[in-house]
A and B are shown apart, each in its own frame.
Chain A
Amino acid sequence: MEKKIIKNDLLAEEYYEFDHSSGLKIFVMPKKDYEGAFAMFGTKYGSVDTCFKRKGDSDFTKVPEGIAHFLEHKLFESEDLDAFARFEKTGASANAFTSFDRTCYIFQCSDNFDQSLEILLDFVKAPYFTQETVDKEQGIIGQEIKMYQDSPDWQVIFNLLRCIYQNNPVRIDIAGTVESIAEINAELLYSCYNTFYNNSNMALAVVGNVTAEQVIAVADKVLKKEEKVEIEQIVPEEPENLFSSYYEEKMEVDIPKFAIGFKEKMLGNVRTPKEIACTNILLDLVAGKVSPLYEEMLSGGLINKYFGYEYFEGRGFSVPMYSGESSEPEKVKEKILERIALLKENGISETDFEVSRKRLYGLQIRAFNDVDDLAGNIVESYFRNSNLFSSIEAYREISKDDVEKILRQNFSEELVALSVIK
């Protein structure tokens, strides 16, 4: 099997990429000076994948909201011992998560790595659903959904996405609703599983005190060759304008929470590392901690320490976003728009650009400290057709002109939405 080396000289880091005979992409980043290892087994399948078919099927399947997350919960079960019970014998701590565009199964351990990896690969590749186990899970997930509904920080972001997008499935709650998950049955779960959990749609990344040979040996033992599945999806057409520019929900909060976001035109499937770096620098320049606007709003009592920004993006969606707490969210929005208008008119100063670039580059470097971040970023970057070092390289390369170009394209005053919880 060919071993491809992906490296970065400045960081003195490298990792290996393999095309395993089973059809699975495998990445290994050995780190000898670490005590433990972290493994992530992920599929490019999340809450936004709601309507699909396999090549050759006659009809598209439209699935209930929240099914990807439901499937994640169910995979931990099997006919005899569930996955958690199996990990107990190795001492590893295992978990899983579902996001908008991927589902990942993980474990971290210091000892017994081979056994734990075998369990991970085995349980994810051995689905077992019956109507009885599906019914039981509806109770647990119903509780989880309610917990999210009580979280104003979570709701304020979702409400914003529902303002920005009219049809994009990112509007859907990742866990679905109590009603939608009631429609889930074993047959639908198998249909999703057989489509998206094919080796060709997945990736395995291992980082830590292990060797590539160790990982490949376990993969050889557990994984069977699978025919590649070609997936066709129906992505609803998204109009250019907002669904709504304002949404307000009442909840028990002391200070109103808000999120402000800009609608952008998506050309490709995902944003490139360069686009992401430029947008983050812009968000920083407009109202990040280094900006005069941040101090003005903080000292003026308009925002508090919970103010921050994020370029909220993934497969099929991208929203530059500010969020926080304020008694006057409308005023925060106005201030941000004024500052954007000023930057559009006067351009960006070279010094300010450099300060933000250094800051954000430094923050990227931090992601190379921990084995869990590394494994997560390897899988994520692969699903985006880039690699672990792409974002570091982007920050080293971009210029002020690149950033100004994005400023002119996006951050439109007509396409800004505000979500408030009070």
Chain B
Amino acid sequence: MEMKQICKGVKLCTHQTDKFKTARLSFSFITSLGRHTSANSLVVHLLSATNSKYKTISEMNRKLASLYGATLSCNVSKCGDMQVLSLILTAIDDRFTFENERICKDCVELLCECVFRPNVSPDGFFAEDVNREKRLLIEKIEAEKDDKRAYAFSRLIEEMCSEEAYGLNKFGKIEEIEKLTEKELFTRWMRLIVNSPVQINYVGSADPQIIEEAVLPYFVSLQRKDILVVKTDFITSAHEENTIREKQNVKQGKLVIGWRAGMTYDRDNFPALKLMNMLFGGGTFSKLFTNVREKMSLCYYCSSQLIASKGLLVVQSGVETENTEKALIAIKNELEEIKKGNFSQETLRNAKLSYCDTLKSIYDNSGAIDSWMLSYSVDSVYYSPEKLCELINAVSKEEIIVAASLITLDTVYILEGEKEEE
């Protein structure tokens, strides 16, 4: 993996390989979560739908189809208090076209046109496009409620981080999206391309030089300046425990628990905390899987994750409503066990083995390489998967116990099924 600054606030990360049959190019704006979150996410959806050359959905889709089913999608995600707005293009390698057509350059050009040459007039984006994308984005936000597991998770984050930027929905708020004007969106787009940090990732067989040469002229003509500084606030410990209960007509209840992990920045104590999370609920050898799920048969799923970009530890589980309290006690108990050091050197060794195995396999998937390059270089410290594996292997049992001792319970979210009436 190679990384270089190609112009003010613009990083190009590339991984040249011919082992994949496809190439993947992603273009990400990195911005702060806050008052522009809704507008930013609508802009990136607009950019991925059409551009000044392919002005309608059909024209754009036919162009992509003729490039052998190239895909163009947008992805909005949160990384700490940052909102990451990505446009992602994937296409098959030139080697596999029917008649040796060269499609790689066309694809890079197409993505650049989407970012820098949207379908706009001096008055802004067109109402027809804006209205369509507004509706689609709002329906996407609404659809999040239908997946109860994801819904319960996002409700926990919303409640737990209600005073922080991280508590915002990554797509923004429906009421705000409804009010955005064509002109405002145009200004937002300008701000993104001129002022926000950008990261471009490429994984594929082409010479990275081709990507740089194709992209650079667009930036040069922009005169980028006042590059936005993005950073994340970390709350190291919880003030008091909060419990939120909701009722819905569901057959299976959900229990989601959030802790502050004691981190002061995203790499703070990361290897020890990562391992502590794995022992707690991050795999089939974990305490949550073997005890709460298998031995006690309390839930269908019960796992934990460390959100290092914000210093949070979260457990998600699906439980029968009448078992909720039992499960909550059992889960808290397992964390106490780790704090007491009640885990074997062998389990720790297995956790290291399992995580390092996963780290190596990143190189076998172009999407995983892309995400790795993005998430590990949005901020200052970059680790290669090999480097992180070394750090993981150096962690001792004592370091894990110390890391666990800094974890404090913040919020419990419970989604209960309503009693069936009849």
Question: With A35-B361, A110-B357, A359-B69 given, is the CB distance from A254 to B145 under 8 Å?
Answer: yes
Binary per-residue interface labels of chain A (137-171) against chain B in the complex, 1 for a CB within 8 Å, 0 otherwise: 00110011011011111000000000000000000
Q: How far is the CB of A327 from chain B (nearest CB, A)?
A: 10
Q: Which of B117-145 contact A (CB under 8 A)?
A: 128, 132, 135-136, 139-140, 142-143, 145
Bound CA span A192–B187, Å: 65
Contact among B61, B148, B248 with A290 in the assembled complex (CB-CB below 8 Å)? B61
Q: Which of A17-25, A39-47, A292-300 contacts B (4 or more CB under 8 A)?
A: A292-300
Are A252 and B350 in contact, with the CB atoms below 8 A?
Answer: no
Chain A binding site: helix, strand, loop or mixed by DSSP?
Answer: mixed
Is B339 part of the binding interface, using a Cβ–Cβ cutoff of 8 Å? no
Q: Which of A78-99 contact B (CB under 8 A)?
A: 84-85, 87-94
Are B58 and A290 in contact, with the CB atoms below 8 A?
Answer: yes
Question: With A140-B300, A152-B146, A325-B139 given, is the CB distance from A295 to B56 under 8 Å?
Answer: yes
Q: How far is the CB of B19 from chain A (nearest CB, A)?
A: 4
Q: Which of B90-98, B153-161, B405-413 contacts A (4 or more CB under 8 A)?
A: B90-98
Q: Which residue of A lies closest to B349 (CB)?
A: A89
Bound CA span A13–B61, Å: 30
Bound CA span A93–B96, Å: 32
A-B contact count (CB 8 A): 182
Bound CA span A33–B300, Å: 38
Q: How far is the CB of B388 from chain A (nearest CB, A)?
A: 14
Contact among B22, B62, B251, B293 with A150 in the assembled complex (CB-CB below 8 Å)? B251
Set of chain B residues within 8 Å of A92, measured between Cβ atoms: 354, 357
Q: Which of B165-173, B175-183, B363-371, B375-383 contacts A (4 or more CB under 8 A)?
A: B363-371
Q: How far is the CB of B309 from chain A (nearest CB, A)?
A: 23
Is B102 part of the binding interface, using a Cβ–Cβ cutoff of 8 Å? no
Are A362 and B251 in contact, with the CB atoms below 8 A?
Answer: no
Are A146 and B252 in contact, with the CB atoms below 8 A?
Answer: yes
Are B65 and A359 in contact, with the CB atoms below 8 A?
Answer: yes
Bound CA span A253–B143, Å: 8
Are A111 and B357 in contact, with the CB atoms below 8 A?
Answer: yes
Q: How far is the CB of B126 from chain A (nearest CB, A)?
A: 12
Contact among A93, A110, A254, A298 with B142 in the assembled complex (CB-CB below 8 Å)? A254
Is A16 part of the binding interface, using a Cβ–Cβ cutoff of 8 Å? no
- The residue among B21, B62, B91, B139 with the most chain A CB atoms within 10 A of its own CB is B21
Are B20 and A325 in contact, with the CB atoms below 8 A?
Answer: no
Set of chain B residues within 8 Å of A368, measured between Cβ atoms: 21
Are B361 and A370 in contact, with the CB atoms below 8 A?
Answer: no
Bound CA span A36–B362, Å: 9
Bound CA span A362–B20, Å: 13
Set of chain A residues within 8 Å of B364, measured between Cβ atoms: 34-36, 208, 370-371
Is A355 part of the binding interface, using a Cβ–Cβ cutoff of 8 Å? yes
Is B394 part of the binding interface, using a Cβ–Cβ cutoff of 8 Å? no
Contact size class for B? 35 or more
Q: How far is the CB of B397 from chain A (nearest CB, A)?
A: 17
Is A301 part of the binding interface, using a Cβ–Cβ cutoff of 8 Å? yes
Is A231 part of the binding interface, using a Cβ–Cβ cutoff of 8 Å? no
Q: How far is the CB of B224 from chain A (nearest CB, A)?
A: 31
Is B184 part of the binding interface, using a Cβ–Cβ cutoff of 8 Å? no
Q: Which of B66-104 contact A (CB under 8 A)?
A: 66-70, 90-92, 96, 98
Q: Which residue of A lies closest to B71 (CB)?
A: A363
Contact among A34, A88, A298, A360 with B57 in the assembled complex (CB-CB below 8 Å)? A298
- The residue among A254, A292, A301, A325 with the most chain B CB atoms within 10 A of its own CB is A254
Question: With A11-B21, A304-B139 given, is the CB distance from A93 to B354 under 8 Å?
Answer: yes
Set of chain B residues within 8 Å of A298, measured between Cβ atoms: 57, 132, 136
Q: Which residue of A lies closest to B139 (CB)?
A: A304
Bound CA span A146–B299, Å: 11
Q: Which of B216-274 contact A (CB under 8 A)?
A: 248-252
Q: How far is the CB of B406 from chain A (nearest CB, A)?
A: 27
Are B22 and A290 in contact, with the CB atoms below 8 A?
Answer: no
Is B285 part of the binding interface, using a Cβ–Cβ cutoff of 8 Å? yes
Set of chain B residues within 8 Å of A355, measured between Cβ atoms: 62, 65-66
Q: How far is the CB of A329 from chain B (nearest CB, A)?
A: 15
Q: How far is the CB of B258 from chain A (nearest CB, A)?
A: 21
Is A109 part of the binding interface, using a Cβ–Cβ cutoff of 8 Å? yes
Set of chain A residues within 8 Å of B67, measured between Cβ atoms: 362
Bound CA span A269–B65, Å: 32
Question: With A140-B300, A396-B98 given, is the CB distance from A295 to B318 under 8 Å?
Answer: no
Q: Which residue of B lies closest to A371 (CB)?
A: B364
Q: Which of A388-422 contact B (CB under 8 A)?
A: 396
Are A369 and B68 in contact, with the CB atoms below 8 A?
Answer: no
Contact among B22, B251, B358 with A365 in the assembled complex (CB-CB below 8 Å)? B22
Q: How far is the CB of B357 from chain A (nearest CB, A)?
A: 4
Bound CA span A311–B249, Å: 32
Q: How far is the CB of B366 from chain A (nearest CB, A)?
A: 7
Are B366 and A362 in contact, with the CB atoms below 8 A?
Answer: no
- The residue among B61, B135, B148, B248 with the most chain A CB atoms within 10 A of its own CB is B61
Q: How far is the CB of A335 from chain B (nearest CB, A)?
A: 15
Is A267 part of the binding interface, using a Cβ–Cβ cutoff of 8 Å? no
Question: With A255-B142, A305-B140, A325-B139 given, is the CB distance from A299 to B299 under 8 Å?
Answer: no
Are B142 and A90 in contact, with the CB atoms below 8 A?
Answer: no
Question: With A34-B19, A358-B69, A362-B69 given, is the CB distance from A151 to B147 under 8 Å?
Answer: yes
Provide 11 A-B residue pairs closer than 8 Å at the C-beta atoms, listed in order of the A residue: A84-B289, A88-B283, A92-B357, A108-B361, A110-B361, A136-B297, A143-B320, A147-B318, A254-B146, A257-B146, A361-B98
Chain B positions near chain A (C-beta within 8 angstroms): 17, 19-22, 56-58, 61-62, 64-70, 90-92, 96, 98, 128, 132, 135-136, 139-140, 142-143, 145-149, 248-252, 283-285, 289, 293, 297, 299-301, 318-320, 347, 350, 353-354, 356-358, 360-361, 363-366
Chain A positions near chain B (C-beta within 8 angstroms): 10-11, 31, 33-36, 84-85, 87-94, 108-111, 136, 139-140, 143-144, 146-147, 149-153, 208, 251-255, 257, 289-292, 294-295, 298-299, 301, 304-306, 325, 355-356, 358-363, 365-366, 368-371, 396
Closest 3 CB pairs of A and B: A362-B69, A362-B68, A91-B353
Q: A109-B357, A149-B252, A359-B65 are in contact. List 9 more A-B contacts (CB 8 A).
A: A33-B17, A91-B357, A109-B361, A110-B356, A252-B146, A290-B61, A295-B61, A362-B69, A369-B22
